[in-house]
Amino acid sequence: MTVSAPTSTTRTIDLPGGFAVTIQEFGENTDGTGVLVLHGGAGPRSMAGFAAALSQHAYVVVPTHPGFDGTPRPESTDTVADLATAYLDLLDVLDLRGVMVAGSSVGGWIAAETALRDNAGRISCLTLLASTGIAPEPPLQLANPAELGPARTGELAFHNPQLRPNPAALGPEQLAAMAANQRVLAVYAGDPFCYDPKLRGRLHRVSVPVLVIAGEQDGIAPLEYERALADTFPRATFQPIAQAGHFPHIEQPAAVFEAIGDFIDTDVKPDGR
């Protein structure tokens, strides 16, 4: 998919309760609809290309989870539920409706939690990319980058070796920034890491259509884990992506966008409206 350079701006928005969040906006909010894109532990840069491509069709907002990339994190903001509530407040402030919430990895967990709390009906559907959130059923496990180290994490996260980051080629500042992001991830992901043991029992209350996209070679959140996640939603479509790991939107963007397009045409807007 060839994407022209999008119009992108960054600003910080004050939310209720003294909370502030930094967002990057792609495109323009012309009709009160849009896409909320939620990053995982790799930070907002891991969603930049995905957001830029989406902005060819919609207004796109990419928040930086407080604490990531050096942004401030209030001590009271330390759970996925806190982020979900904040992003629903963000949708209120931006006055967006008919919103697709797309989340990668722990961002998918946050997306699911926003849908559970969306009492204003602002969310129209979810797209979960290699999402975490539910407890893995043994022998399945979710890999913890803090335990694996950056080299092994890259091997498990990317099917294509050329896309794996090389820690030896990174400077001290880059390595320090990665380590700081991982520390913030650990705060939000909690213990047990990257899932809520009770979430599976709540997801039947998500009434909007859900697309679960899984990389077939994902060594972080295995394919069968993603299949089980899809099975917990009452209106879910499961789409495996070949030759992709934990970032299918980076390794196989054309296949991912084809899946999203089919999902919108079939499940979200079957009448074309």
CATH code assigned at 196: 3.40.50.1820
pLDDT of residue 2: 46
pLDDT of residue 252: 98
**Does any domain span residue 214?**
yes
**Does any domain span residue 3?**
no
**Does any domain span residue 273?**
no
**Does any domain span residue 182?**
yes
**Does any domain span residue 180?**
yes
Q: What is the pLDDT along the chain (273 residues), one digit of tens a residue?
A: 444 556 789 999 999 977 899 999 999 898 999 999 999 999 999 999 999 999 999 999 999 999 999 999 999 999 999 999 999 999 999 999 999 999 999 999 999 999 999 999 999 999 999 999 999 999 999 999 989 988 999 999 999 999 998 888 889 999 899 999 999 999 999 999 999 999 999 999 999 999 999 999 999 999 999 999 999 999 999 999 999 999 999 999 999 999 999 999 999 987 766
Cβ neighbours of 198 (radius 10 Å): 9
**Does any domain span residue 37?**
yes
**Count of domains observed in the chain:** 1
The whole domain housing 156 covers 8-268
**Does any domain span residue 244?**
yes
What does the block give as tokens for 269?
């807007």
Q: How far apart are CA 39 and CA 88, in angstroms?
A: 16
**Does any domain span residue 2?**
no
Give the pTM: 0.95
Three-state SS annotation for the chain: CCCCCCCEEEEEEEEHHHEEEEEEEECCCCCCCCEEEECCCCCHHHHHHHHHHHCCCCCEEEEECCCHHHCCCCCCCCCHHHHHHHHHHHHHHHCCCCEEEEEECHHHHHHHHHHHHCCCCCEEEEEEECCCECCCCCCCCCCCHHHHCHHHHHHHHCCCHHHCCCHHHCCHHHHHHHHHHHHHHHHHHCCCCCECCCHHHCHHHCCCCEEEEEECCCCCCCHHHHHHHHHCCCCEEEEEECCCCCCHHHHCHHHHHHHHHHHHHHHHCCCCC
Q: How far apart are CA 185 and CA 64, in angstroms?
A: 12
